[in-house]
Structure 1
């Protein structure tokens, strides 16, 4: 258990180091069309959304970050308090450690203690049994559960899993037996349309694409294990806006999609929602803001993200997220070329 806790501490340390060199400009190929005749008043804009019946007052989610050791307890407590104050949904980090070490559970349970009425997501890897999923849900009285996919990280991580057979079968079983909404979530490498279809066919109703462009766990594992580092694989994955479009073009009529992976601004959220996402997740930069500036800095940052989203909606004439999806947008550059090569209509909406 000490080794697992140490690994989690190292993940935070190295993610903060990597954050300094990340551009986080992943949506630069997407432009929302300005509306010079907008008649929308700021105070009438409704940014509420739903994920399979879960009502979110705001489409901004503090996504899975950490848990399982003393610093994680403090991080999760502060995040949960801000989530409560700002009416944001929040996910905890992987709870696997808490299944094996009961003393680690407090770093996850503190989220529900700080935010008893909030929307909270549990989290565990795709190798989990149905019984383990039910246990992590019960641990924090979760409203939904994230089943995370992180094969590239596991492959590169010295102590990671190297066998993945049976993943689809397990996900299908979890989807059929767990009563709270099940979210399948990538952790920074994206999801292609082919795998999105498999997940939808398995009964998954919510997909968090977790695209490339934010925290790079291959880079983090390279920093942890310099002797056997594989730097050529850094940057692996499907960029977030491309993954979002791939998934939406294939299963957008069957699955609610969360955009995450490198998002930084309220304009990123607006573009994600305009493309068809139901919500947007923030993790790496949220952690960076908290660790570098404290709770006050993080609160101000998230308030700014919300403000930027509302301003963007007003400038395209959208009173709600449904209106935003109807507004034309322009797709250029690498994103357009990728979609063309993959046979995806850039006007898929």
Structure 2
């Protein structure tokens, strides 16, 4: 790769962090406000016996929280990944690295990803590449960090708006199916903040995908980020593009039923959002932008405390709804209101 292209790629990664943190402060409405878990006044749950462990296919998780894909490839990315890996190890939460494409082309960037496995040798770690990557690239990314699974991210809106982004997406579905057939660890197909509709969720399931991360609208907005980088007017008009996370979660679960394990991410802020996702049927919940905001503004200890608080809040909701484990939480009635209700009704999904 040309040295100048490599420099621009590193610069872009650091700019994603910079503008992502600026936009994080603007986020207002929480789409999870439309979701209510029914209170159980006769709960007989013993708080000390609540079990929040879960499973993503063959991967056992002690709790459902995932530090989702954030960064890597730069000196700043290495520092961030190191701090996140330390927290993941201490709290026994899964962690995904950011896109490793830069490290496949530049050996100097490899350590910014390897540090995660170095600090957390026995933890659950996910590799990350674009869904248009080759089998060889995927295997290299997996080997780089001894990954337990690999995220294949879908980012058409980001690429379209990005001045230097990709503009051709032909063959993506076939490529995903080929990767599923030739990679021997779980594959997670993941959006990057714009959600997955039931039609595409079904296509992914029929292609052999067993884990889907909906990563819906409500969190980090890469259209706005790329718009700020490139000073694009179009990005302003497109800033509301996407499917809100709870809607995408419900659509995906409705389409795939028990064929796919679904991860809820995109704008989750706290344990109540997480519990609502789990009650709707998610097997795990991912946090990225908000965790990074806490890490960079308040430090590692603050983020560590916040994740512990999320775990507590999930358990509080379970106790108040009468659920001893996540499977029982999923059986508790959920009331859906507002925009989410009307969207699902229009889409023919029973609420």
Q: TM-score range by the shorter chain?
A: over 0.9
C-alpha distance in 2, partners of 1:326/1:55?
21
Pick aligned residue for 2:21 from 4, 9, 16 = 16
Alignment partner, residue 123 of structure 1: 128
- 1:273 and 2:286 correspond: no
Pick aligned residue for 1:56 from 61, 64, 67 = 61
Alignment partner, residue 295 of structure 2: 290
Q: Report if the CA contact (8 A) 1:223-1:229 is conserved.
A: no
Pair 1:227–1:337, CA change in 2 (3 A): closer
- 1:332 and 2:337 correspond: yes
Structure 1: which 5+ residue stretches go unaligned?
none
Pick aligned residue for 1:233 from 235, 238, 254 = 238
C-alpha distance in 2, partners of 1:198/1:127?
16
- Please state whether the residue corresponding to 2:112 is helix, strand or coil: helix
Q: Report if the CA contact (8 A) 1:123-1:145 is conserved.
A: yes
Q: For 1:192-341, what aligned pairs fall within 5 Å after superposition?
A: 192-227=197-232, 229-341=234-346
TM-score by length of 2: 0.98
C-alpha distance in 2, partners of 1:58/1:227?
41
Deviation at 1:230, TM superposition (A): 2.7
TM-score by length of 1: 0.98
- Please state whether the residue corresponding to 2:15 is helix, strand or coil: helix
- Please state whether the residue corresponding to 1:318 is helix, strand or coil: coil
C-alpha distance in 2, partners of 1:294/1:325?
34
Deviation at 1:253, TM superposition (A): 1.3
C-alpha distance in 2, partners of 1:322/1:100?
43
Alignment partner, residue 159 of structure 1: 164
C-alpha distance in 1, partners of 2:224/2:232?
13
Deviation at 1:192, TM superposition (A): 0.3
1:289-311 Cα distance to aligned partner (Å, 9 max, x none): 00000101110111111111111
Q: Report if the CA contact (8 A) 2:191-2:216 is conserved.
A: yes
Q: Report if the CA contact (8 A) 1:24-1:262 is conserved.
A: no
Deviation at 1:228, TM superposition (A): 5.3
Alignment partner, residue 141 of structure 2: 136
C-alpha distance in 1, partners of 2:247/2:232?
33
Pick aligned residue for 1:73 from 78, 82, 86 = 78
Pair 1:127–1:175, CA change in 2 (3 A): same
Deviation at 1:68, TM superposition (A): 0.1
- Please state whether the residue corresponding to 1:258 is helix, strand or coil: strand
Deviation at 1:197, TM superposition (A): 0.6
C-alpha distance in 2, partners of 1:325/1:4?
42
Q: Report if the CA contact (8 A) 2:219-2:268 is conserved.
A: yes
Deviation at 1:24, TM superposition (A): 5.5
C-alpha distance in 2, partners of 1:222/1:42?
47
Deviation at 1:54, TM superposition (A): 0.4
Deviation at 1:20, TM superposition (A): 0.7
| Aligned CA-pair RMSD | 0.8
Pick aligned residue for 1:46 from 43, 51, 56 = 51
- Please state whether the residue corresponding to 2:41 is helix, strand or coil: coil
Deviation at 1:42, TM superposition (A): 1.0
C-alpha distance in 2, partners of 1:154/1:99?
19
Q: Report if the CA contact (8 A) 1:24-1:214 is conserved.
A: no
Deviation at 1:25, TM superposition (A): 1.4
1:44-101 Cα distance to aligned partner (Å, 9 max, x none): 0000000001000000000000000001000000000000000000000000000000
Q: Report if the CA contact (8 A) 1:26-1:213 is conserved.
A: yes
Q: Report if the CA contact (8 A) 2:226-2:235 is conserved.
A: no
C-alpha distance in 2, partners of 1:305/1:25?
16
